[in-house]
Structures are given as C-alpha cells and as structure tokens.
C-alpha cells in the first residue's frame, strides 16, 4: 500500500513536474533555436564571408544582404561616409582599427590583382537582388574597406568574427536595432525608396556613368551603387590599367610593321641602282622604258620628265675616286675630274673655252659659244648697251636658257645677280652637272611641250646665248612661254647668229623673230655687237601694261582665255597665247620691285592685311614674322650652333620654302639657295622671286631634275611628315641621298616621330647623326652623308 500509494503519489508528482519541465525545456530550446537562427541569418547576410575575399566578383554568390542596425538616419550617415570615400580615393578612412588595416594591406594588393583574373565572373553568376550596403565594404577602387582579421581567418576564429559582427551592426549612437527594423530598412531599399541624402550622390554617379538607375533596376544585372557605376564604366571603356589581349596583339603587329617600314636601321635594305646612266642617274630623265614608248620626239619630248610609276629606293653609285668638291670660289675655275669623269664636252667645246682637261682637274676658262674671251666682258657689254638693265640693282634674278656649263651665271655672281640656268640632258654630256659641281645654280630641263616649273612674271631678265631654241616656229609657242615668265618691263637678251650674220637661214630667222616680237608688243631697245667676241645681241623689253595688246590690228598671237591661270606650271601643256598683264596698282607685277638689296627685306607691295598668310596672320604680318623667325634660327642654331663649316657649303636647297626666309637669312654666307615650293603647298614662290631670290615648283614624290651629288646642304622644314600621307618615305630619302653630296648635311625640322624615323633611315645608310633634339612633339635633326654604298645591285626590270 505504502509502496503503491507512494508509487501513485510519486507517479503523479513526477508527471506534473515532468510536464512542467518538458514545457520549460521546449520553450527554452525553441527560444534558443530562434536566437541561433537569427544569429545565423545575421551572420550570413550582414557579413557574407566572401565579400572580403580576393575575388571581388564572388560577391554575387552570397545571399541577398539584410540591413541590420541601420535606421534611415544612420543609413544616410553611412551613405555620406561612403560618398566621401569615393571622392577622395587616396584617403581610405575606415571604421576599422589601424591594427586591422595594417594586417589587411597585403590582402588588398591581392584583391586588386585578382580583379583582372576573372573579369567575366559577374556576368556568369546569377544576379542577386540587393547590394545597397556594398559601399560599407568597398572604396571607389573596389577594395574592401572593412576587412580585418575575422575576414582572413573566418574559419579559425569565430569569436573575433562574432565580435566584429556585433560592432558592424551597431549604429552611430551605439544602439543595436531590432531585427524588424533591419528588415524594414532592407525592404525599403529593395523597393528603391532611398534616403534624401543618398539620392543626390547616386544620381550624380549615375549621371557620370551615363546610365540610369531605373533602366538598370529593370535589367538582369543588379544596378551597382554610384561609385561602382563609375568604376564599371571606366572598366568597360578604358579597361583601367589592364590592356586587352586584342589590343596587345594589335599593337605588337603595328610596332613590327612600323619597324619594318620606318623603324630601326636594320629593317632597311638598300641596293645600288641598276641603270645605264650609272653614276649620273636621274630617275625622271633616264626612264628608258617610258622614252621608248613615246610616239614623237619632235618637240624634245624625250628630254622632258618621265618619272617611273614607282619611285626608286635604290642608291646611285659613286664615281671611282670621288673626292670632296673644291670649295667656292676656286670651284668656278676647276673641279676634280674624278667627280665628273666626262671628256666629250671638252673635246667638242674646248675651242670655245667651255671646259678643258688638265691632269686631275677639269678647267673652266669662263668662256662660252658667244663669249670665248670670258663671260665678264660679255656681261659688261650688255650693261654698256643698256645701262637701265643695272646688274645687281634693278636686275637681280635672271633666267639663262640653254646655259651650257653655266659660266654666264657663274660670273653673274660678281655683279650680285642670281641666275637660274637650265639645259637639257643631251649630247652635251653632263653640262648641268659641270655647272653644279662648280657651285653654280642649274637644273636639267628643256623647252619642249610643257611649261617650265616657274610662276608667271618673276624673272627680271631672260638670256639666251646660242641656246638653239627655235623661238619663231609654231606660232612662237616657246617664246610665248618666256613671255609668261618675264616680269612686265623686263628684258630679253638674245645673242645668236641671226642677230649679226647674213646667211640666208639667219636672215629668215631674224625676220620671223622681228615679226613675232612686234606682234607680242616687245620693243627692241638695242641691237649691238661685241667686237672682242665678234658677236651681236638684240635686247627686247616686255610692256608694262595692256595698251599695246588692245591696239593690235590682229589678235595674233592670241590672248589667253581668262580662265587660263598663268601661274599654273606643273605639267601644264604649252599654248601659243599671251596672258594679259596685271591691271590695277595693287596687283603683283603692276610695278617693279625695290632695288636690290632692299627688296630682300621689303614686304611685297601686293601683300596686305586683307589676305591671310600661310601661318594664319594677315599676309604682310605673316611675311615679317617668318623673316624674323628664320633670321633667329639661322643665326643662333644653324650658323653658330651645329658645328657646320659653312666655308665648305655652297649649293643649298630649301626643300619646303614658304616666304624664302631661310634663304634670306643666309645672305651673308657664300651660298645660293634653291627654294622649292612643293606643288601641294601654298603657292608663295612669286613672293620669293619678289625678294630677289629664286626657286621652282616640285613634287617630292618624284625625283628632282638634277644630277646626283649636287647639293652641299638640304633643309626641310615640316616636309617629310606631310609627304608621308602620299609618298613612300623611303623613296623620298633615297632621293635625298641621290641629291646630297657625300659629307653634305641634311637639316630637318619636323614632328618627333618623323625625326625618329628619318634618323633610323640615316643610320641605316651609315650617315653620321650630328645632332638630334626633340621637345614635345617637335624635333630637329642634323645628319651628314657618308661615302658608304651598298655592294648588292638592284635587280633589273
């Protein structure tokens, strides 16, 4: 009974206490589970462990973050902090202790490096819904701001991680928000209801990135915060600091192609020219293939320019025993025979004192067909016959047609006169080459079917001494070309047998010339005879205005059409017509230039402020500025700064002249300058002639009409960079090598990349680089040609 009663009692009591105990235990366990669940949810949302891993793109693999402990005010405050961090990426302030920052520095470096390792991971992973709190962890560069030891050792030290979590979910006042408030905040953000302080920041960043939040929220990809938006745009368009493989490969190919065409010296392959002309090769005059195809040679077509379709890139060989030319003025009287080893002209014209052979030299007594006893006497005879011609004063720039060895022009220097001499490359072997070797200006040209490469109305005097040109035939077409070139009021000096001989042929020619010159309104101002040389000459003057043209009874020769540009001279066919003379006091040619040397510095009267100059200023100011510029450059740099011995410089070419300032600045040197105005440059050649200087038009994509080794110094101001757009630079440089004498100088002012390219070419030719200088995108180069020639001969075509 007792046992049973006790058992009954014990059974009830334990049952009651057990039930109470179980209920209590159940409640405790349930509460504990809830707390654990809440803790786990907190751990997995606020602190996704991989948010701080080295691979930033893994962020999207974590569950959507939940905003714990952040009221709208606190969230606004955090947004403000984040904004400050994005604006100043160098000042990465964090809420993490310094100790943690110091430990995580290496991790940040890894993070930055690994950003480029998997750039496509973000696109491959399914997008998550919310990353508004990402600004709590990442600075503007995408680096983790809140990383500490718990991030690195999250699997080893749970206490630190939990402590860290407790710190991070605390608001600015140190209070912890309940889960409900955190959830509400999260939901508010997920609906796009940002705080008033956050909104301007995000809009500003979105505007910078060129995207809109509304558009991104509807896309498959989560719209990043403001800073991330800016970062993504930079990465997508600029690739940050990381080039793409496509760009790297493309750049390498371009570099290799550039090095082959214009880069290092080893990329150039030079060969000797394979031409029958050998050491005297002029590509546009020795094009045998083109000459053989000519239908007629009646008008000396075979002596005109016929350039190869592809400009040659070969090098002209040197004559055996070539030496540095004799210096001026001794060179006017003798040159090295080995430099111009031709004797035919000495045999053919020796009795007329053109040239004679004497040992190692070719001697030039100064004679010519019309002045056997010397050119100076002949020149003075002209002056005596017509004092108004005033050599070196009124008459400064003259044209000598059929110049022979150019003794006339050579001795005109004694009268301060500049002579443009020309003659064809014909049976008078190397006559122009003799002239240039002597230091006398000359080019290879012929009066055939095309205009000469000079502007209209620029020569003060034109001279012909037994030049063998049939002026009177075909309507006087060739004499009318001289009329185009002669300045209004200028003189034509004709010294030929029809002037003073009475043979039937001479009389016939004289009568024809008299009728032609009269119909052209040329006035014969004198007809005289040189008793010493037993020759005669007739001197004609071109009219200054159109009065005579208007009074002619017959329009023969006819006036050219108004549409005919008298200055057009590059490959323009000849026509038997006369151009009207300038009308009006401000038109070029309306009056005679200032006397020499005043005309050199004087701004041409027809340049005025209403015209725009080459450099953009009013034309008259442009001219003056150019003149001052080259005076300064030549004086400080070329003459005194480059170590050039100007006593060894005689024949100079400005490959791209503008107003002739470079040539004018060299007036005190014993040099002459051939001013070249490229055909694609502003036509300023008339200005150059107005100054008492001379020059011609040329296309540098073709060879120049001169013999090899004829210039001591070539000057090119921003020429090659322009030529690169339409010519092969290697062919142009091969032409430079052909024209320049060994030990001659090339001075180039151009863009820095062009300077580097030319320097590489010069080095490949074994030239000496005397000076190279670049500043910004501009550069200066001075190189000296060597005697080196390749051994391999170019394949014949």
Measure the CA–CA gap between 463 and 461, rounded to whole angstroms: 7
Does pLDDT of 93 surpass 50?
no
Q: Is residue 10 predicted with pLDDT exceeding 90?
A: no
The upper half-sphere exposure of residue 489, i.e. CA atoms within 13 Å in the direction of its Cβ, equals 13
pLDDT at site 565: 97
Q: CA 763 to CA 752: how far, in whole Å?
A: 17
Cβ density class 418-430: b for 16+ within 10 Å, e for less = bbbbbbbbeebbb
User: What integer pLDDT is reported at residue 249 of this predicted model?
Assistant: 64
The CA distance from 545 to 563, in Å, is 19
- pLDDT category of residue 408 using cuts at 50, 70 and 90: very high
Tokens of 55: 């691979």
Write the CB contacts of 711 (distance below 8 Å, at least 6 apart in sequence).
Answer: 436, 651, 652, 653, 674, 739, 740, 741, 744
Higher pLDDT, 220 or 330: 330
**How high is the pLDDT of residue 254?**
61
Q: Residue 67 has which token pair? A: 């905003």
My answer on whether omega of the bond before 144 falls inside 30° of 0, hence cis, is no
The region of weakest confidence among 2-6, 26-30, 255-259 is 2-6
Contact by Cβ (8 Å): 167, 97 = no
Q: 653, 713 in Cβ contact below 8 A?
A: yes
Segment among 163-167, 249-253, 306-310, 530-534 with least mean pLDDT: 163-167
Going by pLDDT thresholds of 50, 70 and 90, the confidence category of residue 579 is: very high
User: What average pLDDT does range 627-633 have in this prediction?
Assistant: 97
- 778-784/768-775 β-pairing: antiparallel
pLDDT of amino acid 301: 96
Give the integer Cα–Cα distance in Å for 488 and 588. 10
Query: In the predicted model, what is the mean pLDDT of the chain?
Result: 78
459-465 and 442-444 beta bridge pairing: unpaired
Distance CA 757, CA 397 (A): 38
- Contacts for 252 with CB less than 8 Å, ≥ 6 apart: none
pLDDT for res 253? 61
What backbone torsions phi and psi does residue 413 show, to the nearest 5 degrees? -60, -30
Question: Euclidean distance between the first and final Cα of the chain, in Å?
Answer: 139
| pLDDT (0 to 100) of residue 23 | 65
Contact 484, 542 (CB under 8 A): no
Whether the per-residue pLDDT at 343 is higher than 90: the answer is: no
Helix (H, G, I), strand (E, B) or coil at 746: strand
Give the tens place of pLDDT for each residue, 669-724: 999 999 999 999 999 999 999 999 999 999 999 999 999 999 999 999 999 999 99
The answer to which of 185-199, 462-476, 571-585 has the lowest mean pLDDT is 185-199
Bridge partners, 315 (sequence order): 272
What sign results for the dihedral spanned by CA atoms 63, 64, 65, 71?
A: negative
pLDDT digits (tens, 9 = 90+) for 98-131: 434 444 444 333 333 333 333 333 334 444 444 4
> Dihedrals φ, ψ of 176, to 5°?
-100, 135
- Structure-token match 């301060």, residue found: 416
- Whether the predicted pLDDT of 227 surpasses 90: no
Q: What is the 3-state secondary structure of 426-457?
A: CCCCCHHHHHHHCCCCEEECCCCCECCCCCCC
Q: CA angle, corner 670, sides to 669 and 675, nearest 5?
A: 80
Q: Give the model's pLDDT for residue 468.
A: 87
In angstroms, the Cα distances linking 132 to 125, 169, 280 are 18, 15, 81
pLDDT band at 368 (very low <50, low <70, confident <90, very high): confident
Tell me the per-residue pLDDT of 37-57, one tens digit each, with 9 for 90 and over. 666 655 444 433 333 333 333
Determine contact, residues 48/62, Cβ cutoff 8 Å.
Answer: yes
Looking only at the bridges linking them, the beta strands covering 711-717 and 740-751 are parallel
Q: Say which range, 14-28, 185-199, 238-252, 577-591, has the weakest mean pLDDT.
A: 185-199
Largest distance between two CA atoms of the chain: 183
User: Is the four-CA dihedral 565, 571, 577, 582 of positive or negative sign?
Assistant: positive
H/E stretch holding 736 reads: helix 729-739
Q: How confident is the model at residue 349 (pLDDT cuts 50, 70, 90)?
A: confident
The one-character DSSP state at 473 is S
Mean pLDDT within 366-378: 88
**By mean pLDDT, which of 275-279, 343-347, 544-548, 741-745 is the weakest?**
343-347
User: Peptide bond before 557: cis, by omega within 30 degrees of 0?
Assistant: yes
Using DSSP's 3-state secondary structure scheme, residue 38 falls into helix
Q: Using CB atoms within 10 A of its CB, is residue 741 exposed (0-12), middle (13-18) or buried (19+)?
A: buried
- Residue among 335, 303, 300 nearest 319 (CA): 335
Per-residue model confidence (pLDDT) at position 20: 56
What is the Cα–Cα distance from 770 to 58, expressed in whole angstroms?
60
Q: At 176, is the pLDDT very low, low, confident or very high (cuts 50, 70, 90)?
A: very low
How many helices (H) and strands (E) are present in the chain, helices listed first? 27, 17
What pLDDT is attached to residue 266?
60
- As a whole number, mean pLDDT of residues 600-611 equals 95
Q: 402 falls in which pLDDT band (50, 70, 90)?
A: very high
């Amino acid at each position: 009974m007792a046992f049973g009663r006790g058992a009954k009692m014990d059974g009830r009591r334990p049952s009651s206490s057990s039930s109470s105990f179980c209920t209590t235990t159940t409640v405790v366990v349930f509460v504990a589970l809830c707390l654990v669940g809440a803790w786990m949810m907190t751990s997995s949302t606020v602190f996704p462990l991989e948010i701080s891993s080295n691979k930033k793109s893994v962020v999207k693999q974590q569950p959507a973050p939940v905003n714990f402990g952040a009221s709208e005010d606190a969230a606004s405050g955090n947004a403000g902090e984040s904004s400050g961090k994005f604006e100043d990426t160098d000042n990465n302030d964090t809420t993490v202790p310094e100790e943690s920052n110091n430990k995580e520095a290496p991790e940040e470096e890894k993070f930055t490096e690994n950003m480029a390792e998997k750039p496509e991971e973000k696109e491959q992973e399914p997008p998550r819904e919310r990353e508004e709190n990402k600004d709590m962890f990442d600075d503007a560069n995408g680096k983790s701001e809140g990383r500490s030891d718990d991030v690195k050792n999250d699997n080893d030290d749970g206490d630190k991680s939990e402590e860290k979590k407790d710190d991070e979910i605390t608001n600015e006042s140190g209070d912890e928000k309940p889960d409900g408030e955190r959830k509400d905040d999260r939901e508010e953000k997920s609906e796009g209801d940002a705080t008033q302080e956050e909104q301007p920041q995000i809009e500003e960043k979105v505007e910078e990135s060129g995207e809109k939040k509304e558009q991104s929220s509807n896309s498959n990809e989560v719209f990043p915060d403001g800073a991330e938006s800016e970062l993504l745009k930079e990465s997508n368009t600029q690739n940050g600091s990381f080039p793409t493989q496509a760009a790297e490969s493309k750049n390498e190919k371009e570099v290799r192609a550039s090095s082959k065409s214009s880069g290092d010296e080893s990329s150039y392959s030079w060969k000797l020219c394979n031409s029958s002309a050998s050491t005297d090769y002029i590509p546009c005059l020795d094009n045998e293939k083109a000459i053989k195809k000519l239908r007629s040679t009646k008008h000396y077509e075979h002596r005109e320019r016929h350039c190869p379709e592809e400009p040659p890139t070969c090098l002209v060989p040197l004559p055996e025993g070539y030496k540095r030319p004799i210096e001026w003025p001794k060179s006017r009287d003798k040159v090295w025979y080995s430099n111009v080893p031709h004797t035919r002209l000495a045999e053919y014209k020796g009795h007329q004192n053109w040239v004679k052979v004497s040992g190692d030299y070719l001697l030039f007594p100064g004679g010519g067909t019309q002045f056997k006893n010397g050119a100076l006497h002949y020149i003075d005879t002209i002056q005596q016959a017509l004092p108004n011609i005033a050599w070196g004063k009124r008459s400064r720039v003259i044209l000598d047609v059929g110049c022979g060895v150019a003794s006339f022009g050579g001795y005109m220097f004694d009268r301060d006169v500049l002579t443009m001499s020309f003659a064809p490359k014909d049976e008078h072997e190397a006559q122009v080459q003799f002239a240039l070797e002597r230091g006398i200006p000359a080019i290879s040209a012929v009066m055939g079917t095309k205009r000469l490469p000079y502007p209209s109305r620029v020569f003060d005097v034109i001279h012909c001494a037994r030049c063998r040109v049939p002026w009177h035939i075909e309507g006087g077409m060739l004499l009318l070309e001289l009329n185009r070139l002669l300045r209004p009021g200028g003189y034509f000096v004709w010294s030929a047998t029809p002037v003073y001989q009475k043979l039937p042929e001479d009389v016939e020619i004289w009568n024809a010339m008299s009728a032609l010159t009269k119909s052209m309104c040329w006035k014969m101002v004198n007809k005289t005879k040189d008793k010493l040389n037993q020759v005669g000459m007739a001197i004609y003057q071109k009219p200054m205005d159109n009065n005579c043209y208007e009074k002619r009874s017959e329009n023969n020769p006819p006036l050219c059409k108004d549409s005919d540009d008298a200055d057009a001279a590059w490959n323009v066919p000849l026509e038997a017509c006369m151009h009207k003379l300038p009308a009006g006091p401000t038109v070029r040619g309306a009056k005679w230039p200032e006397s020499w040397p005043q005309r050199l510095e004087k701004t041409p009267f027809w340049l005025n402020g209403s015209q725009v100059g080459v450099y953009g200023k009013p034309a008259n100011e442009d001219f003056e500025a150019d003149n001052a510029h080259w005076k300064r450059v030549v004086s400080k740099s070329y003459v005194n700064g480059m170590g050039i011995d100007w006593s060894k410089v005689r024949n100079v070419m400005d490959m791209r002249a503008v107003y002739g300032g470079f040539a004018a600045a060299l007036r005190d040197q014993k040099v002459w300058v051939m001013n070249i105005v490229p055909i694609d440059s502003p036509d300023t050649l008339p200005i150059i002639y107005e100054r008492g200087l001379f020059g011609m038009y040329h296309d540098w994509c073709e060879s120049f009409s001169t013999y090899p080794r004829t210039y001591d110094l070539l000057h090119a101001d921003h020429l090659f960079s322009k030529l690169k757009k339409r010519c092969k630079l290697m062919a142009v440089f091969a032409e430079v090598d052909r024209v320049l004498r060994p030990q001659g100088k090339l001075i180039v002012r151009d863009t820095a990349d062009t300077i580097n390219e030319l320097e590489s070419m010069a080095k490949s030719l074994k030239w000496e680089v005397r000076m190279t200088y670049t500043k910004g995108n501009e550069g200066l180069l001075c190189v000296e040609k060597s005697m080196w020639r390749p051994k391999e001969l170019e394949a014949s075509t």
